[in-house]
Amino acid sequence: MADFTFAELTPTAFLRRSADVYAGRDAVVDGDLRLTYRELYDRCRALTGVLAGLGVDPGDRVAVLATNSHVLLEMHHAVPMRGAVLVPLNIRLSPEELSYILDHSGATLLVLSEEFAEVGARVAAEVGVPVLQAGPGSDYERLLADAEPAEVPCTDERGLLGINYTSGTTGRPKGVMTHHRGAYLQSLSLLVHSRMDQRTSYLWTVPMFHCNGWCLTWGVTAIGGLHVCLRKIDAEHIWALLREEGVTHFSAAPTVLTMVADAEGAAGPPLEHRVAVQTGGSPPSPTLLARMDRLGMDVTHLYGLTETFGPIGINEWQSQWDALDADEQAALRARQGVGNVIAEPLRVVDEHGADVPRDGATPGEIVARGNDVMLGYYRDDDATAAVTLDGWFRTGDLAVMHADGYLEITDRAKDVIITGGENVASVEVERVIDSHPDVVESAVVGAPDERWGEIPVAFVTVRAGSTVTADEIAAHVRAHLAGFKVPKQIHFTEIPKTSTGKIQKQALRQTVHESARSAG
């Protein structure tokens, strides 16, 4: 008997449909290059033939070291269309880390955008992996012009689609295994929650290598939106593209939003329409959310990890909240929210795996499971077992659950500071520091202390021309929080960040620990 009710889910199906429905519509803007959806589809089909000609078989791993460009977007489609496994590389990693990932993933090919020709060739030679370099006049374009498609249909929607390596801030990078079904469904969930449609012009501020651009490499394609590529973060260029390309949506970590809000372009002509912004990573402060609102940008707070295909939680805005005052609205927007439309409901559990009370005060760990959770860590059963709790994925994030079912992160488990037996959530202190008018951003970590065990230490970036002192910052915190939460040291400095804009607290911890050792 024929079965008309089932087809394997794969995100590559979106491009095939858009090439028919939106054939002549612009799909990609990458500098001077513009591609229609038919052109993008034809290139990706031809690239499957290029991969086959270079010896890439179904199941082989293809690593890509590229900026937010047509190259990385094309590989997101062409590699799985070939039946191979995509390994997008973090462009900020060191050569040693890149070599480790190439070796650990067993990559059989490394594809490069022209910006990484030198470092890519070096690490590929070290590991013994052939290279295909893109760019004008490159082998990539020459081979693509003559290739015949060699597509391989998806026969297992839970088969391996990609391996996304974590940033490795707490050890060797771990390879997060993603599958076709999860990427397909996660793509659709982001479209629902961000309210995208064929009029969407999406600015690529979030790295495409990071959780596959939160699966919007496929999602924007599904609705025939315009991919506006941004090869590096430049706040002034972002403002130019917001105006010139009619950008309707972009996604970025709070640190990038801070850069955008502080840029000279923010003082230019008002935007012609409000822009939908999705943010993740560390919780945005109410102060930052209020500033973005004044600039014509509606910020939605998302929550997720590489292990959850990007955002698994959404701060679903309730219409009745529109009647609240600005401060109350900003506080609500800082929550991480509820599971997205394709996720299992998120839980906050205690150390025994039991749900904490919905009182907005009792802390616990966020756990998740469902279609948008990883298959596990590649070639690392021990690491996979360490994050498994009765069939749920342990995120390592501490949160409280509010009475309405919305969760709010209080800290990463490793970021809680225990001083004199009292727990201090670094996020809480950071929010207060960030509310000072002279502060751009801050990060708070624990430093070892002989008397208290740990003390909170703040790293603060201030606005140009500011003369604010450490004592003034401390007084500002003391006016809002208990005395034991006030940072005992305050350092004015630029704060180190990962390639995705997350603050590198591990680097700050190392700084304070080395300082403590030197003082001892």
Rg, C-alpha atoms of the chain: 23
Predicted confidence at residue 131, as pLDDT, reads: 97
Q: In what order do the strands lie in the sheet with 439-449?
A: 439-449, 453-462, 489-492
Which pLDDT belongs to residue 452? 76
**In which residue ranges of the chain is pLDDT below 70?**
1-2, 167-171, 281-283, 411-414, 420-423, 450, 499-500, 519-520
CATH topology of domain 233-414: Rossmann fold (3.40.50)
261-288 confidence digits (pLDDT tens): 999 999 999 999 999 999 886 667 777 8
Q: Across-strand partners of 85?
A: 61
Nearest to 281 by CA among 262, 265, 299, 298: 299
d(CA 317, CA 296): 17
- Euclidean distance between CA atoms 438 and 105, whole angstroms: 45
What is the Cα–Cα distance from 75 to 372, expressed in whole angstroms? 21
**Tell me, what's the pLDDT at 169?**
44
User: According to CATH, what is the number of the domain 12-29+37-194?
Assistant: 3.40.50.12780
The reported pLDDT for the residue numbered 22 is 98
Of 126, 217, 210, residue with least CA distance to 173: 210
Q: From CA 129, how far away is CA 119, in angstroms rounded? A: 13
Do residues 34 and 201 make contact, with C-beta atoms less than 8 angstroms apart?
A: no
Q: What is the pTM of this model?
A: 0.83
Domain with CATH 3.30.300.30 in the chain: 420-519
List for the chain the helix, strand, coil content (%; round to 5).
35, 25, 35
Q: What is the pLDDT of residue 217?
A: 98
403-442 residues labelled b (16+ CB within 10 A) or e (exposed): eeebbbbbbbeebbbebeeeebbbbbbbbbbbbbeebbbb
| DSSP 8-state symbol, 248 | -
Q: What pLDDT, in 10s, does the model give residues 29-66?
A: 999 999 999 999 999 999 999 999 999 999 999 999 99
Where in the chain are all domains bearing CATH 3.40.50.12780?
12-29+37-194, 233-414
> What confidence score (pLDDT) does residue 167 get?
65
pLDDT digits (tens, 9 = 90+) for 81-118: 999 999 999 888 888 889 999 999 999 999 999 999 99
pLDDT for the residue 170: 44
- The architecture that CATH gives domain 420-519 is 2-Layer Sandwich (3.30)
Angle between helix 286-294 and 426-434 (nearest 10): 40
